[in-house]
Amino acid sequence: MTLKTTSRTLMAALAAALAVAAATVAGATPPLASTDNGPVRGLRTGQVAAYLGLPYAAPPVGPLRWRPPAPSASWTGARDAASFQPACPQKGVSMPGEPPPSTAEDCLYLNVWTPIRRPTRPRPVMVWIHGGGYAKGATALPLYWGDRLAGRGVVVVSLNYRLGPLGFLAHPELSREGGGTSGNYGLMDQIAALEWVQRNIAAFGGDPDNVTLFGQSAGAMSISLLTASPRARGLFHRAIAQSGAVFEPLELAPGYRLPQAEKDGVTYAASLGADSLAALRALPADRLLEGRASLVTHPVIEPTVLPLSPYEAFVAGRQNKTPVLLGYNAEEARSLVNLTAVRADTFQADLTRAWGGLPPTITAAYPFVTDAESRQARADLERDLRFGWDMWAWARLQDKAGGPPAYAYRFSRRPPFPATSERGGWGASHFAELWYMFDHLDQEPWAWSRTDRRLADLMSRYWINFARSGNPNGPGLPVWPAYTTGSDLFLDLGDEVAPRVNPDQKTLRAFDQTYDAVRGAPFGTAPGPRP
């Protein structure tokens, strides 16, 4: 059995769940709820109601392509909300073994899971933002369903947002059309979905004054950006970020700033043979995913949605001040890099090919002699470079800012993933924590142990407690101390659950040294002049 079997098991889980839902609904009245566009009819699965495919904005097609999300149209009569709507246009899949999603440019929909039993007081709301490198991902993936969390007493929302060039293209013509700014349409979608939650979630039993964002990978990166966005202020009250944030110096990524992003947009358009915005808008959505699309598949620092990077916002004290729960996985790189191909004699050449060369102050922190040591060095470096440093930086910046606390974790449990010979096993890799956090172990017929099931129970309880109060602690749970720079304690989510000093601290400090030199200022202080 290989991890590719996951596609079949996911589809089987989807079919089985929908069959159960249909059977249940056949013997009971489908749940109804009201939205500001009209009533919706969902489906019932056990003690949870699901409302799927609810529009939160107008279809971003035709003249609305590359424009801020517009209000969705209203309807009369109860709208059917018993099935997912297509994901936004994308190529490939966001996780190994995942079935390719159904896609359409008309994709701005969200889903709600809520307990059937009406609450005596409004319930906490958890809004999920999926990952996929800003280019992939779908809320219909069974792993992302909110049924198990909702069964524990919260309201869960998941949302589609525009991806790739359709979500993040900056271009001079778009900037003129947009009053001096362009890009970040995907972030605007996320904000529009949060505005929908503010207007509508009370009708589903949720508390609009207690909204927690949670997301993984690019979803977590999006949350770090929303923490810096003045447009998102007041729309969420807590934040959970899993393996993703944007705190590196933008001097190392000039394409994130609007002037260079516009130039990259022109280069991208030329790669498609489009010499104008009108020509781009005339192309079918699938064609827009070709050419040099990777140039325009990331957020942009621009005047309206994101005037400051997250690091700049924290240094200036202009971040959205909320409690945060954040962390990363001990073996992130095992699902992202073919470590079995890493050799000591080609280590540096392979690294340069992947990243364009890294400063010696960073690579020297990962010494090796043998091939086996080089594989571990590459795994640790990729973990810290892509995820570890950003999460560590966010925790430290939150502590330096004072006010709401941060709770940091390091996920080290190795799930019983099916063996994969081509990469030597996945381990505590990127995305490994998701089955536990969503309490979805039963979706996969893997050899889950009592330790796995205990960890899934603990993690889902921590996450829900945090959504309720901004503090993950509660009866029967190992104590999770708030993060401080002095203690550097992360909660180890592994075979045992206990706070420990971050074991990656030594290598992570190598990034501080390099990034401080680039910024011209020590970590957490005002950066120097930009080149």
Give backbone dihedrals phi and psi of 347, rounded to 5 degrees, phi first: -55, -55
Distance (Å, rounded) from C-alpha 101 to C-alpha 111?
Answer: 16
Per-position DSSP letters for 202-265, written without gaps between them: GGGTEEEEEEEEEEETHHHHHHHHHHH-GGGTTS-SEEEEES----S-GGG-GGGBHHHHHHHH
Instruction: Kindly name the residue from 105, 248, 332, 382 that is annotated as catalytic.
Output: 332
**Residue 251 a catalytic site member:** no
pLDDT confidence of residue 11: 45
> pLDDT digits over 329-366, tens only?
999 999 999 999 999 999 999 999 999 888 999 999 99
Nearest of 470, 469, 529, 459 to residue 494 by alpha carbon:
459
Instruction: Kindly name the residue from 171, 237, 298, 430 that is annotated as catalytic.
Output: 430
Instruction: Kindly name the residue from 94, 175, 182, 217 that is annotated as catalytic.
Output: 217
Nearest of 349, 339, 348, 351 to residue 375 by alpha carbon:
339
Q: How many CB atoms lie within 10 A of CB 1?
A: 12
Can you give the residue ranges of every domain in the chain? 3-519
- The parts of the chain modelled with pLDDT lower than 70 are 1-28, 420-424, 528-531
Q: Is the CA virtual torsion 305, 310, 312, 317 positive or negative?
A: positive
> pLDDT digits over 17-29, tens only?
444 444 344 446 8
Per-position DSSP letters for 58-105, written without gaps between them: ----GGGTTSPPPPPPP-SSPEE-SSPPPBPS-SS-SSTTPPPPPB-S
Per-position DSSP letters for 64-76, written without gaps between them: GTTSPPPPPPP-S
Q: How is residue 116 annotated by DSSP?
A: S
CB 319 within 8 A of CB 228: yes
**Residue 298 a catalytic site member:** no
pTM reported for the whole predicted model: 0.94
**Residue 332 a catalytic site member:** yes
Nearest of 167, 155, 31 to residue 87 by alpha carbon:
167
Contacting residues for 282 by C-beta, under 8 A, at least 6 apart: none
CA atoms within 13 A on the CB side of 327: 30
Distance (Å, rounded) from C-alpha 67 to C-alpha 57?
Answer: 12
pLDDT confidence of residue 424: 52
What three-state secondary structure class fits 526?
A: coil
pLDDT confidence of residue 426: 85
> pLDDT digits over 95-133, tens only?
877 889 999 999 999 999 999 998 899 999 999 999 999
Q: Does domain 3-519 have CATH number 3.40.50.1820?
A: yes
Buried b (16+ CB within 10 A) or exposed e, 42-62: bbbbeebbbbbbbbbbbbbee
At which residue do the structure tokens 């972030």 appear?
A: 187
CB 72 within 8 A of CB 57: yes
